[in-house]
């Protein structure tokens, strides 16, 4: 079933109780909003047998919050428009938190370097290629994009992944999300994941920021957890926290705060900008 309008927590929670779905699909940002909604505590989740997440990495904190609330452990996976289906997925009986999952039967996946060489386990691939019977052959009226993305029957997903010895894939960001700071390349997702481990931060997005002298730096947009107002010298504390976790040039030079989190789960991040609705 599809719920019309914006997926606000109250609307989604009411639909779960009213229509009693057995499988729930949501983005990590929606799981975050639902787990922290005041009305979630009294919601009956007993009809659910599976809770599935995709598109972004689910944080351990939200995973634990949803499990305590619903009794369900979220299963992470990943698909794409070009492949028309989930091609990476964890399984209820065997999963790794933070992993997009293992290859779904019927699909072939390869990690390749910039020269097209196939990489081994524990190496990071740019880009990540996949193919299967559901692969799209081209983009409509976009021959240049088709030639770049679809080669033979393989699809360049544009994602960066690593794979462990057990065949689990870990999302490392988009191939085009690199930002050059102080002459060094930085992946915003790495900085976001660092910030998300801070005990006072609920959500964040890391973006590019052009300084007056035209140099590029990092800007973090942060939502603090309820009951955690900014403290004295808070920016310096957050920057110091990042410096202890990351290489020095990777910390965000600019930090901005939002008063509260997005309530409809529509928090979209990327190196070119951030879109936060209904705040």
pLDDT tens-digit readout, 37-88: 989 999 999 999 999 998 777 888 889 999 999 999 999 999 988 999 999 9
Average pLDDT, the chain: 86
Percent of the chain clearing pLDDT 70 (strictly above): 90
Rounded Cα distance between 266 and 120, Å, is: 35
Rounded Cα distance between 156 and 112, Å, is: 10
- Residue written as token pair 């202890």: 244
Nearest to 86 by CA among 102, 110, 72, 64: 102
**Residue 267: phi, psi to the nearest 5?**
-115, 110
What are the structure tokens assigned to 175, written together? 């191939």
Rounded to whole angstroms, what are the CA distances from 261 to 32, 54, 199, 264? 9, 20, 16, 9
Between 274 and 25, the higher pLDDT residue: 25
Residues 162, 149: contact at Cβ < 8 Å? no
Q: What is the DSSP letter of 166?
A: T
Nearest to 178 by CA among 136, 254, 124: 124
- Going by their DSSP bridges, the two strands 254-258 and 216-224 should be labelled as parallel
**Domain edges within the chain:** 179-276
Highest mean pLDDT among 4-8, 18-22, 233-237: 18-22
In this predicted structure, what is the pLDDT of residue 239? Answer: 93
Task: Answer yes or no: is pLDDT of 277 > 60.
Answer: no
In this predicted structure, what is the pLDDT of residue 127? Answer: 65
Task: Answer yes or no: is pLDDT of 264 > 80.
Answer: no
Q: How far does the chain reach from its first CA to its final CA, in angstroms?
A: 26
Rounded Cα distance between 63 and 44, Å, is: 18
Residues 34, 9: contact at Cβ < 8 Å? yes
pTM greater than 0.95: no
Q: 179-276 adopts what CATH topology?
A: GMP Synthetase; Chain A, domain 3 (3.30.300)
């Amino acid at each position: 079933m599809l719920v019309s309008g914006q997926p606000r927590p109250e609307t989604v929670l009411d639909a779960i109780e009213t229509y009693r779905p057995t499988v729930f699909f949501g983005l990590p940002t929606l799981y975050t909003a639902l787990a922290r909604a005041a009305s979630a505590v009294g919601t009956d989740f007993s009809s659910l047998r599976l809770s599935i997440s995709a598109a972004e990495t689910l944080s351990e904190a939200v995973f634990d919050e949803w499990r305590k609330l619903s009794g369900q452990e979220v299963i992470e996976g990943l698909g794409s428009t070009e492949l028309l289906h989930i091609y990476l997925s964890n399984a209820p009986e065997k999963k790794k938190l933070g992993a997009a999952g293992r290859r779904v039967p019927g699909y072939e996946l390869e990690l390749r370097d910039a020269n097209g060489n196939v990489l081994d386990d524990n190496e990071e691939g740019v880009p990540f290629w996949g193919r299967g019977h559901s692969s799209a052959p081209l983009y409509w009226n976009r021959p240049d994009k088709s030639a770049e993305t679809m080669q033979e029957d393989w699809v360049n997903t544009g994602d960066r992944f690593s794979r462990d010895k057990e065949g689990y894939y870990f999302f490392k960001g988009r191939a085009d999300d690199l930002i050059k700071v102080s002459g060094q390349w930085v992946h915003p997702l790495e900085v976001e994941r660092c910030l998300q481990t801070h005990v006072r931060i609920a959500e964040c997005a890391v973006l590019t920021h052009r300084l007056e002298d035209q140099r590029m730096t990092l800007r973090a947009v942060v939502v603090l957890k309820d009951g955690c107002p900014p403290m004295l010298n808070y920016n310096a504390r957050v920057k110091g926290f990042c410096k202890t976790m990351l290489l020095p040039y990777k910390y965000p030079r600019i930090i901005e705060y939002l008063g509260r989190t997005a309530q409809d789960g529509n928090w979209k991040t990327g190196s070119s900008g951030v879109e936060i609705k209904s705040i």
